[in-house]
Structure 1
């Protein structure tokens, strides 16, 4: 830091000092400065306790406890010339301890603080004023996992900064402020600098953390979905394999469908399930669109006999805008992710697949012969 001399048009470097050189102590000085002027760290905070130790089964105490304008609890940990290597673990513990504090407990903690510093004030009135509301009942404090962490030190070890940056990927709201004392003659100056996240990039860092967490959530959700599907297929396959050879060589899958051959390449009998239905189908997915449409039309010539043998009407989807075509039978209002629906789904799917195989076996054999003939004469 430099001081500007207007007359000489020169700058003079200020003498950077350490707190220990100046005889300052963490609790008696740095903590008091921040407690009495929390705006020094760049925002309006309400300090509600110093040296808070109101945790069950532990004698640990955090330096400063505060609230921000959104009603989030803010844990502030101060270090002097060195952050130490364990400060991140400290603030995480404190945040976990504070996460269970209720609104009334926080009001009580704040009232104790006001009494301790001999301020003849009421916590409830101060909270109403700080949050700029008319009624105490309107105030929402410490909702969910919204606790914030602020670490203040003259120097931060690499193991601290790297850990903080990593934790931010999980949407933990952590800020690191570097505080530096300077001396100019008899005058002392103090500079607060937010180094993590950098003030100019704070919004970007928060957005990236949210994106990273969303990606992690998607991965975890996908993993859960995959495991559920595998378990469902493991339950279904033994039932169908007792009654037909069709799926004997098919293994449980993480996908929402499994299929078995019909006798025509890339035309399959499929089981399909989702959050809203269970389905059996004949799915035409050959690489050439015209071949799928030809098979669909030829099978359509047997529609009446197929449905009579199946025992119900089927849904015939030519899917003109797609390469594939489908003939399906579906049960709605069942959910693969609700295990209570599984028995109903399995009974429906097994019975329907047996009927589907029985109804399509002969028509597919005849259409296969026609397809081979068409391909040999290049008419498709």
Structure 2
């Protein structure tokens, strides 16, 4: 750092110091500076507790606990000249401890802090003022993931590497480098956000969010696949006791399984989703006009088919689509709710047996074989 002497038109070096050289202490000095002016951390925060130790079955203390402008809890860990190896682990532990704090917990923690400081204010009012909301009942606190800010003069490589990995996995973490300087008996403090780099912060957060979303989607997809395979396994066991129609079909990870009808381009399908279950005859022989012609030929026997089946069917010619469908539905069931499985399996298997019987004679007439 340099001081510019305008009269001499020169840059004068300012001596870089360590906190130890200046006899500054972590709790007595750096912690107090931050609590009185959170601009040191590059943002507006409301400090709600120092040396917070309100964790069950542990005597550990986090340095500073704060709220940001979104009502999220911010865990602040201060170190002086060296971050040490364990600061990330400490901060993560404290974040996990704080994850269970309720809105009332936070209000009470802040009130104890105000009382200890000799302040006459009420915590609810100060939180409302900080979040620019009139009614405390309308405020949400700690509803999102907790954030972590670490401050030190120097960060070890194992700390910065871990912080970058956590940031990449959507953990909200910052590393602030603080450097003291001395000039003519005056102490200057320089701060620099090193993780994430300020100019790239928005980009890195977007990339991390995208990766997290992709990870969640992959996990959901894998879970969905596992559930569907189990559902189809149970369904096929019951179906094969009632009919040989699906005897050569294996369980699938997809939301449908089908078998041939004995006629090219026509398949009997089971379909399951989080909203319904369906049996169908799917018509997709080739050209669109051929499919519509087959559908129309079957539709001429609508009354006979529904009489044999015992209920009305859903006749979907689908004029704008290539294929056509004749279906029967069960609404308001969810394959991802195992409690719905018995109803769904019974509906699908029982009605598919009746459906295939009702269609068999008609298909023989339509295709003349």
> Which residue does 1:31 correspond to in 2?
31
5+ residue gaps, structure 1: 371-380
SS for the counterpart of 1:22 is coil
**Pairing 1:244-263 to 2, within 5 Å after superposition:** 244-263=243-262
**Pairing 1:41-190 to 2, within 5 Å after superposition:** 41-117=41-117, 119-124=118-123, 126-127=126-127, 129-132=129-132, 134=134, 137-138=136-137, 140=139, 142-190=141-189
> Which residue does 1:348 correspond to in 2?
347
**2: CA distance between counterparts of 1:332 and 1:113?**
55
**2: CA distance between counterparts of 1:303 and 1:100?**
60
**1: CA distance between counterparts of 2:351 and 2:104?**
59
**1: CA distance between counterparts of 2:298 and 2:141?**
64
Q: Deviations over 1:37-83 (max 9, x none)?
A: 22221222222322222222112111112223333222110112222
Matched positions, count: 368
Asked if the contact 1:263–1:365 (Cα under 8 Å) also holds between the matched residues in 2, the reply is no
Shift of 1:319: 1.6
Asked if the contact 2:103–2:142 (Cα under 8 Å) also holds between the matched residues in 1, the reply is no
SS for the counterpart of 1:242 is helix
Give the TM-score normalised by the residue count of structure 2. Answer: 0.88
**2: CA distance between counterparts of 1:281 and 1:133?**
55
Shift of 1:126: 4.2
SS for the counterpart of 1:113 is helix
Shift of 1:212: 2.8
Shift of 1:16: 2.6
**1: CA distance between counterparts of 2:105 and 2:281?**
63
**2: CA distance between counterparts of 1:306 and 1:134?**
66
Asked if the contact 2:133–2:139 (Cα under 8 Å) also holds between the matched residues in 1, the reply is no
Shift of 1:293: 2.9
SS for the counterpart of 2:242 is coil
- Change in Cα spacing, 1:10 to 1:289, as seen in structure 2 (3 Å) is farther
SS for the counterpart of 2:21 is helix
**Pairing 1:184-263 to 2, within 5 Å after superposition:** 184-263=183-262
**2: CA distance between counterparts of 1:33 and 1:76?**
13
Asked if the contact 1:3–1:12 (Cα under 8 Å) also holds between the matched residues in 2, the reply is yes
Give the TM-score normalised by the residue count of structure 1. Answer: 0.86
SS for the counterpart of 1:69 is coil
**1: CA distance between counterparts of 2:319 and 2:105?**
65
